[in-house]
Amino acid sequence: MTGLLLGGLVGSQIGDGKGRNAAIFAGAVLGTLAGSEIGRRLDEADRIKMGTATTDALNNNKIGTSSRWQSDRPDIAGAVMPTRDYTDENGNYCREIKQTVVIKGETQQETGQACREKDGSWSLS
């Protein structure tokens, strides 16, 4: 959880408008990877692309369908896949996601949950 909070805080410091929102979300997602070597090797552009793919997957993808992203650097890519839908204790629609990041053939996978807020945005939990 601390990684999620720190990642969201870091993400809030980059980008503006739609890019900033994606960066905030990506920062929170990246918080789950923060302690890993892969997490430390993603740059701002990678985090924004990951955030955009995550938002796309949460909003549009069926369970088991991935949204992929590719870094400007040829050896970095990732994918986000919803793995489960559920309703939380407050009645919010939530999705469990699997985040995969590959750097130079090294794969890191993490799972997380996001719940839809009343304003339509997603909140990581």
What confidence tens digit (pLDDT) does each residue in 25-79 have?
Answer: 665 665 655 555 556 778 888 888 888 898 899 999 999 999 999 999 999 999 9
Quickly tell me which residue has 């799972």 as its tokens: 111
The domain locations on the chain are: 2-124
The percentage of the chain sitting over the pLDDT mark of 70, rounded to a whole number, equals 69
Report the 10 Å Cβ neighbour count for 118.
6
**Dihedral in degrees, nearest 10, Cα atoms 8, 12, 13, 16:** 150
Q: Structure tokens of 2?
A: 């601390």
Would the pLDDT of 11 be above 60?
A: no
Q: Which two tokens stand for residue 115?
A: 């719940």
Q: How far is CA 63 from CA 57, 60, 79, 86, in A?
A: 9, 10, 13, 12
Instruction: Write phi, then psi, for 31 (nearest 5 degrees).
Output: -55, -30
pLDDT of res. 112: 87
